[in-house]
Amino acid sequence: MITLLEVSGVSKRFGGLHAVSDVSFILGEREIMGLIGPNGAGKTTLFNVVNGVYKPDKGTIKFAGEDITNRPPHQVVHLGLARTHQIVKPLQDMTVLENVTVGACFGREYQPLQPARKVALEVLERVGLAERAQMSARSLTIAGKKRLEVARALAARPKLLLLDEVLAGLNPTEIAHMIGIVRGIRDSGISVFMIEHVMQAIMSLSDRIVVLSFGQKLAEGRPEDVARDPQVIEAYLGDPDIAEKLKEKIDGRGTTG
């Protein structure tokens, strides 16, 4: 595996809250890595640290051999690291094509409008929005807006794409479509790092999974191993001890049934 992204000992605090604590992992070229964890685990914060929205308090981030730890997002994207956001915010009054063209203009390299538009059209084809290129972004359904969000990031011609909950709010047909899009992105040689709550999808898509809980890395590995990790199961299902103690108390009082 050729390393593309190397996150080493990264921590990010907000006041007294340790949103991300000492997280390290490596993501390889052409790899799909899933990032999961209960609400408030620090997943989006980790994304924000990786693409430079936040500076980490500790640790380093290397991307394609370069130290990008303190670089802002608009510089990181020039190196080939693009992302989507959980809450999609297209430029509502512009067309679908114009939205994606903006992504292409300010991506890996600055591009003038003509070649940017060409890139945008190719990308729209890949995400299945080509027929809606001239519609206003506002008129898209939520599934369409999610695909537009992916297209905008893809138009930056990244080596690594961060996807923040692109499946949320989609119906099963739309989820299956988006899974196909993500697989296609990887097959074209782009690595994917994705946050997702739709578990069946993330488990089947990912080569490897990182699990965060309370800001710490709880586990990392193949989906089938991660799903059987006792610590991961406890993070999702809760502490079994509390229930055991409660049962003892109830039995002790003779109030069962």
CB of 178 to other proteins, least distance (A): 14
CB nearer to other proteins: give 187 or 241.
241
- Pick the closer one to other proteins by CB: 124 or 198: 198
- Closer to other proteins by Cβ: residue 93 or 224: 224
Task: Return residues touching other proteins (CB under 8 A).
Answer: 38-39, 141-142, 168-169, 171, 197-204, 223-224, 226-228, 232-233, 236-247, 249-250, 255
> In this complex, which beta carbon is closest to other proteins, that of residue 61 or of residue 175?
175
Least distance in angstroms from the C-beta of 163 to other proteins: 16
The nearer residue to other proteins, 55 or 222, going by C-beta atoms, is: 222
Residue 183: CB minimum distance to other proteins, A? 17
**Nearest distance in Å: CB 43, other proteins:** 11
Residue 246 beta carbon to other proteins: minimum distance, rounded to whole angstroms: 5
Distance CA(87)–CA(26), nearest Å, equals 27
